[in-house]
Amino acid sequence: MTARMRMPGWLSGSGKVVADALPVRLGGRSLPGKMSTPVRMAGLDWTLFWVTVALLIAGMIMVYSATVAMPDNPKFARYAHTYFLTRHVFSLGIASFVAFLAFQIPMATWEKYAPWLFVGSLVLLILVLVPFIGKGVNGARRWIPLGFMNFQPSELAKFAVLLYASDYMVRKMEVKERFFRAVLPMAFAVGIVGVLLLAEPDMGAFMVISVIAMGILFLGGVNARMFFLIAAVVVVAFGMMVMFSEWRRERIFAYMDPWNEKYSMGKGYQLSHSLIAFGRGEIFGVGLGGSIEKLHWLPEAHTDFLMAVIGEEFGLVGVLVIIGLFLWMIRRIMHIGRQSIALDRLFAGLVAQGVGIWMGFQTFINIGVNLGALPTKGLTLPLMSYGGSAIVMNLIALAVVIRIDYENRVLMRGGRA
């Protein structure tokens, strides 16, 4: 049953929305029964916009706090104290400009070119593995140098898989009850991405992409038995990856007992110092800039473990504020997706909800790792951690969500999205 079949009476014969029958809300308010008074529906979702800006500003402040003392380390002695802040602000500028351009693109265009964007992301994932093209750091080859920044194709792959999976489910609505015709082609596409990501290696990005694809399959209406079968296969596959990889097994053992002297100076080093940071922060923290762990004790304090610095400097209160902002943002994104589906815009709805799954899952994993609730995994905190590629793709994804909301509002006025 398609979305159009589930909404009798919502649309008039001309395709225009009947205002007094719409079961959706705009900006937290129900649409009035009669359109006798003007309603600001054609504008942007400014609350979502400003929550995003608040997270970006908080991230910028914390990246500076986490990196201001790094030049004191001989390894970074040639860098200025504002080196990482300057690069982060530069990335924010590029990301904001590209996100503005992404907002101008109608969802029909994203849907039309979704398969080609997916193919382009595969090409980049192959190129990053080619010597003299891809850049390796600490044994991982994940970046392509662009001169002004290092681009990480796996971040584009998250967005490309999200669009491709949404487009795929719209095209396969008639056969979604048939496993081989509905699921296997999508599983094959994600499997190719997974092979390329594991060759870098980047298991964290593969986990996020797998969850995005599975979430869109589920929301797109794939049979529940099929979905749980897929989930079981994915869990077993990741379990086997850990089982047959010694260094991944060591991470699991270190996560279970980071204070063990066997791991405390090795695989459990980051986790143990992250927990020390949260312990020092207590309820209200030691104050902005007062972190001790960021002074060369906690590795990757400005990327994977930025939340530990927040916990140390702002305590439980600061952590809860950040979590609250993310929860509100993800809830609003999912609501925009539901609005789109209610308006018979299945592709746009699945894209918005896919972005919500992406942001929510990656935030959950990052905070869980910082708190020691999950094994260490190299995933950054969306919108906040240092990293140009992630910031660019995060803002593009959110710009697309705001575009979806904008088109919803236009459609609910009786216009054309």
Residue written as token pair 């099929």: 226
Helix, strand, coil % in the chain, rounded to nearest 5: 65, 5, 30
Which of 173-177, 396-400, 403-407 is predicted least confidently?
173-177
Average pLDDT over the chain, rounded to whole?
83
What's the average model confidence in pLDDT over 5-28?
A: 40
Q: What is the rounded CA–CA span in Å between residue 395 and residue 400?
A: 9
Compute the distance between CA of residue 124 and CA of residue 97 in angstroms, rounded to an integer.
22
**Rounded mean pLDDT, 276-282:** 93
Q: What pLDDT was estimated at residue 1?
A: 42
pTM, to two decimals: 0.85
Predicted local confidence at residue 5, as pLDDT = 39
In a domain, 33, yes or no: no
pLDDT over 90, % of the chain:
48
Instruction: Give SS3 for 141.
Output: strand
Tell me the per-residue pLDDT of 58-76, one tens digit each, with 9 for 90 and over.
999 999 999 998 888 777 7
The Cα–Cα gap between 330 and 357 comes to 8
> What is the DSSP secondary structure assignment for residue 84, as one 8-state letter?
H
The structure tokens listed for 240 are 């086997």
Residue 9 belongs to a domain: no
pLDDT in tens, 81-104: 899 999 999 999 999 999 999 999
Alpha carbon separation from 359 to 211, 235, 369 (Å, rounded): 11, 21, 15
Structure tokens belonging to residue 55: 């997270």
Alpha helices in 68-106 (DSSP H): 83-103
What's the pLDDT score for residue 404? 96
The C-alpha atoms of residue 273 and residue 294 are separated, in whole angstroms, by: 9
User: How many angstroms separate the CA atoms of 306 and 293, rounded?
Assistant: 11
Hey, which residues does 144 pair with through a beta bridge? 151
For the chain, first and last CA: distance in Å? 23
Rounded-to-integer distance, Cα 234 and Cα 214, Å: 9
Q: Does residue 29 lie in a domain region?
A: no
- Supply the pLDDT for residue 148: 81
Residue 64 near residue 85, CB atoms below 8 Å = yes
pLDDT for the residue numbered 300: 84
Separation between Cα atoms, residue 162 and residue 169, nearest integer Å = 11
pLDDT, tens digit, 9 for 90 and up, residues 113-145: 999 999 999 999 999 998 888 887 766 788 888
**What are 204-261's pLDDT values in tens digits?**
888 899 999 988 988 887 766 777 777 787 788 777 877 777 777 777 877 777 777 7
**Using one digit for the tens of pLDDT, what is the confidence trace for 149-199?**
889 999 999 999 999 999 988 887 665 556 666 677 888 888 899 889 888
Least confident of 5-19, 39-53, 62-76, 123-137: 5-19
**pLDDT score recorded for residue 257:** 76
Average pLDDT over every residue of 366-394: 90
Q: What is the pLDDT of residue 28?
A: 38
Characterize 249-280 residue by residue with b for buried, 16 or more Cβ atoms within 10 angstroms of its Cβ, and e for exposed. Answer: eebeebbeebeeeebbeebbbbbbbbbbbbeb
Q: Is the pLDDT of residue 50 over 60?
A: yes
Residue 155 lies in a domain: yes
Task: Identify whether 243 is part of a domain.
Answer: yes
Question: Residue 416: pLDDT band by 50, 70, 90 thresholds?
Answer: low
Residue 270 resides in a domain = yes
Domain assignment of residue 375, yes or no = yes
| pLDDT band with cut points at 50, 70 and 90 for residue 13 | very low
Report yes or no on 13 lying in a domain.
no
Query: Which pLDDT score is estimated for 40?
Result: 46
**Range with the lowest mean pLDDT among 253-257, 308-312, 358-362, 384-388?**
253-257
For residue 211, the model assigns a pLDDT of: 92
Q: Domain range holding 165? A: 42-412
Number of domains in the chain: 1
Helices 153-171 & 388-412, crossing angle to 10 degrees?
Answer: 30
